[in-house]
């Protein structure tokens, strides 16, 4: 499993960009969970991109744990 934090997001200097890939099935489920929580993201090819900060991750720890499980599951296929 890989979560990639490639520096800061361009428009929000106080946040880091979180990038990860998943299969289409898992990506659909992850996007639904992010939409449910109102967390903005973009999808480019198979990669999901989010602008995150420490407070967002702490406030949504259970969500990010679920996302990690789905990403791990997609890598096993």
CATH number (domain holding residue 71):
3.30.70
Domain count, the chain: 1
- Rounded Cα distance between 30 and 33, Å, is 5
Residue 4 within any structural domain of the chain:
no
Residue 54 lies in a domain: yes
- Report the pLDDT value the prediction gives residue 17, as an integer from 0 to 100: 84
Q: What mean pLDDT is predicted for residues 28-49? A: 93
Whether 44 is covered by a domain: the verdict is yes
Q: At what angle do helices 24-37 and 61-76 cross, to 10 degrees?
A: 170
* Residue 8 maps to a domain: no
Q: What is the pLDDT of residues 50-68, one digit of tens each?
A: 988 889 999 999 999 999 9
State the residue range of the domain holding 59.
Answer: 16-76
Backbone dihedral angles phi then psi of residue 20, each to the nearest 5 degrees: -155, 160
Would you say residue 7 lies in a domain?
A: no
Tell whether 63 is covered by a domain.
yes
Does residue 10 fall inside a structural domain?
Answer: no
Task: Write down the pTM of the prediction.
Answer: 0.79
Q: Structure tokens of 74?
A: 């997609």
The two three-digit tokens of residue 3, written as one number: 């979560």
């Amino acid at each position: 499993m890989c979560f990639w934090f490639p520096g800061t997001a361009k428009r929000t200097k106080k946040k880091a960009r979180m990038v990860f890939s998943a299969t289409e099935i898992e990506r659909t489920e992850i996007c639904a969970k992010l939409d449910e929580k109102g967390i903005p993201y973009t999808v480019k090819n198979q990669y999901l991109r989010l602008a995150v900060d420490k407070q967002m991750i702490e406030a949504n720890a259970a969500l990010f744990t679920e996302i990690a499980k789905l990403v791990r599951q997609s890598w096993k296929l």
